[in-house]
Structure 1
Amino acid sequence: MTDCQHCHKPTKQASANMLCANCREDYWTMIYQLGHVQLPTLRSIMLRQAHIGTPAHTPNKGNAPLPIDVHAQDLIEESEAWLAEQAGKIRAAYAGYDWRKAWYAIISNKHTILTMSTAADDYAALEHITRRNEQALTPEDELIILGTCPNCHSMLTGTPDAESVTCQDCHSEWAAPAIKAARDQRLWQVQITGTPSDAAKELKRYGLTISRNLISQWLKRGKLHATPTEHKRQYTFNLGELAALLDCHR
């Protein structure tokens, strides 16, 4: 009995380098999704739905060059490099394949891929790539502000159920629950005295968008425990409470 080298749970595998049954299944699903869904979609974004950059001017009546989504291009290069590396481990000649042929080679050699001595490290690398791809492919209206990067203090966004988040500026990877907890903890320590409009503007500095009308509604309904001041329509707000109510309202 040894421990799985990825999840570290006890497994009956004979080799300490192997993955447990659950991790093998999850790893294989990620490999399949990378070539079947993520890479084709990213390439479509880069080549046909690009939105970063502007078409160059051409003196003739021909079509201007299509702008390239450079972020999608970076993700594609990282994904293709991973596929090439794994294919090359099966047979050296496969390392020179284009991404689709490399993926087919991997899919055709499932047992070899899952039982490689480097499987645990390869799986961890693919998890990182997959998370970045998923974040890029998630519509913006489904993303929320998770907090700020402890390394460069840039804003971190992700899906509500994200387990990890990668900073788009410094590329550091963090556990999403810890980032959100740090954000919420800081907000509970911050108070502001002013109108609902002032509170909304202050929350915006933390990346949280809320309307003054919604804050006023919470005050009228008794949902918000802000302390009235001697000035009309002014209260002392706790930003942590406002953020918590906003999370419930989404």
Structure 2
Amino acid sequence: MKPVSANLLCASCREDYWTLIRQLGHVQLPALRSIMLRQAHIGPTGHTPSKGNAPMPIDTRAQDLITDSEAWLAEQAGKIRAAYAGYDWRKAWYAIISNRHTILTMSTAADDYASLQHIVRRNEQALTPEDELIIIGTCPKCDSMLTGTPDAETVTCQHCRTEWPAPAIKAARDERLWQVQITGTPSDAAKELKRYGLTVSRNLVSQWLRRGKLHATPTNTKNQYVFNLGELAALLDCHR
């Protein structure tokens, strides 16, 4: 068992912890509940042709996130007073924000904070439009593609639910980019890199080609080349 001192939070962590608590109840849970009931949509909307199956009445992924979020709130509220553990999520949240000092100075505060960080990160990813997510890499456990926000510190696999440190996954991804080739224009190459969170302009790619820094292979089609994404990523890293 950890000593009590190991679970005390510094002033900065306490502020962040409190911000996450407010964000969970004020922003994330209402948004997730709307998505679960299909009252809201993340990202662009469009007509999807029917494939003969009736749509599910609720979004089960959002429901799973809501369940985890509500369980965390119930647990913390129950630590304030046992009777609060039976509150619905909103009343539990109100009980928590009405007892700031108690929550922030609990002997389990550090563990509770870490648990909440994980929950909020998962919720944040679910609430982020797909076109704002980047390819972080591949899950080492199940080989599923991992996506997340560009500044994510961790990433959770949506298939096996394992959480990984984003920098390590990105490093492995960048190594594998040397095995990836695309055929297209400098603009196509820039767009493909953007999917991995690497921003470069088509003009800069064209400049690298003219100066011989980029060893892309010309094709028979005007202004189209075979690009190696690993080489592009390495050049971009040197350019920064």
TM-score band, normalised by shorter chain? 0.7 to 0.9
- How far apart, in 2, do the equivalents of 1:81 and 1:191 lie? 42
Residue 140 in 1 paired to residue 130 in 2? Answer: yes
- How far apart, in 2, do the equivalents of 1:180 and 1:246 lie? 15
Tell me which residue corresponds to 1:9.
none
Q: Deviations over 1:43-76 (max 9, x none)?
A: 111121369xx99x9xxxxxx9972111111100
SS in 2 for 1:156: strand
- How far apart, in 1, do the equivalents of 2:102 and 2:87 lie? 18
SS in 1 for 2:57: coil
SS in 2 for 1:225: coil
Q: Give the one of 210, 214, 220 matched to 1:225.
A: 214
Tell me which residue corresponds to 2:165.
175
Residue 49 in 1 paired to residue 40 in 2? Answer: yes
Q: Give the one of 165, 168, 176 matched to 1:186.
A: 176
Tell me which residue corresponds to 1:104.
94
Q: Give the one of 132, 150, 154 matched to 1:164.
A: 154
Are the counterparts in 2 of residues 144 and 158 from structure 1 also a CA contact under 8 Å?
A: yes
TM-score of the superposed pair, with normalisation by structure 1: 0.73
Change (3 A) 1:73 1:222: farther
Alignment of 1:64-213 (within 5 A): 67-188=57-178, 190=179, 195-196=183-184
Aligned residues: 217
- How far apart, in 1, do the equivalents of 2:227 and 2:148 lie? 27
- How far apart, in 2, do the equivalents of 1:246 and 1:68 lie? 43
Higher relative contact order (CA 8 A, sep 6+): 2
- How far apart, in 2, do the equivalents of 1:240 and 1:220 lie? 15
Percent of aligned positions with the same letter in both sequences?
70
SS in 1 for 2:120: helix
Unaligned 5+ segments in structure 1 are: 6-13, 58-63
Change (3 A) 1:195 1:84: closer
- How far apart, in 2, do the equivalents of 1:72 and 1:20 lie? 32
- How far apart, in 1, do the equivalents of 2:143 and 2:55 lie? 36
Which has the larger Rg? 1
Q: Deviations over 1:192-220 (max 9, x none)?
A: 5x9548xx79x97xx769xxxx6995675
SS in 2 for 1:134: helix
Are the counterparts in 2 of residues 152 and 170 from structure 1 also a CA contact under 8 Å?
A: yes
- How far apart, in 1, do the equivalents of 2:236 and 2:64 lie? 34
Change (3 A) 1:76 1:245: farther
TM-score of the superposed pair, with normalisation by structure 2: 0.75
Change (3 A) 1:142 1:157: same
Change (3 A) 1:196 1:106: same
Q: Deviations over 1:113-162 (max 9, x none)?
A: 11111111111110000000000111111111111111111001111111
